[in-house]
Amino acid sequence: MIETGELVLLVSPKGKRYLRRLDPSQPLHTNDGRLSMEDVAGAGFGGVARTHMGRPYRIHHPTLYDLCKHVKRQTQIIYPKEIGYILMRLSIGPGKTVIEAGSGSGSLTMALAWSVGPTGKVYTFERREEFSKLAARNLAWAGLDDGRAETRVADISEGFDCPLADALFLDVRTPWDYLEQAAAAVKPGAPFGFLLPTTNQVSRLLEGLEQGPFADVECLEILLRRYKPVPDRFRPEDRMVAHTGFLVFARHAPAAEAKVEAAESEPAAEAEASAEPDVEAPETPGAAHEEIGGQPDRSE
């Protein structure tokens, strides 16, 4: 028996999917006829309920994939094909603390909150209040408003006022402007992720990563090609989900910043050395070669 208020996924004979919150007083009207939600509740998860026209609808618990695909959206969402890789690449799991900037409609926020569990914490930052409220509503719709995710309306140029995170993801237009704030918001060695739609943005980001405490940089895109599950004519579907964005990943590496600072100081040191007054030349040719080149000239 399914309780009133639970989310249910209803799948038609042709595979069309309906995600609804169970309300016995609100039947589902489809091209296959009217489906009684009382019948759905009685059939239970894994069961079948029929419309008034006799068409069978399968009843399932919605998966995380279903939730992310069915969020109410006012912005472009991050697709499941990217979300799965993001979760693994950032090592998101129970008890982790994660920072996200660019909440949008909240599809990734939802996946992060699902993955960290009730013992973890997601801090999601959004500059526009209407998007932040939408993300919060989607979290509540998915049943993930139990304190594991906190939405904030803030300008991240002022930094992230929250505990040091195990991972951080930026989905903003100019992430290179916030690398310093991002590096200060995570634990040493923490992974970073970025999503960008165009190649010129990726190039700007890579330039920024080279100048900061970052290492292990990876760039990629994920393409998804489905096949028709028909044994007699198994072939690709006519359409595919191709480019939806570039993913960039890196690690927080304070040692990398030290190397950059050292490299930047070398030209200054060389210029300072070249400005020194000439010193008296050594008396012997061998000594002169040792002073200038570091090794004597063995041809003599």
Structure tokens at 273: 């050395």
Structure tokens at 245: 């964005």
Of 111, 98, 26, the residue nearest 65 (C-alpha): 111
> DSSP class of residue 227?
B
d(CA 200, CA 144): 36
* DSSP strand pairing (149-153 vs 33-35): unpaired
Task: Tell me the domains of the chain and their CATH numbers.
Answer: 7-62 (3.10.330.20), 65-258 (3.40.50.150)
> DSSP class of residue 281?
P
Please give the span between the terminal C-alpha atoms of the chain, in angstroms, as a whole number: 98
pLDDT tens digits in sequence order for the chain, 300 residues long: 899 999 999 999 999 999 999 999 999 999 999 999 999 999 999 999 999 999 999 999 999 999 999 999 888 889 999 999 999 999 999 999 999 999 999 999 999 999 999 999 999 999 999 999 999 999 999 999 999 999 999 999 999 999 999 999 999 999 999 999 999 999 999 999 999 999 999 999 999 999 999 999 999 999 999 999 999 999 999 999 889 999 999 999 987 655 555 566 666 555 555 555 554 544 544 443 333 334 444 343
**For residue 234, what are the CA distances in angstroms to 33, 134, 230, 237?**
31, 40, 5, 9
Residue 200 CA, chain-centre distance (Å), reads: 19
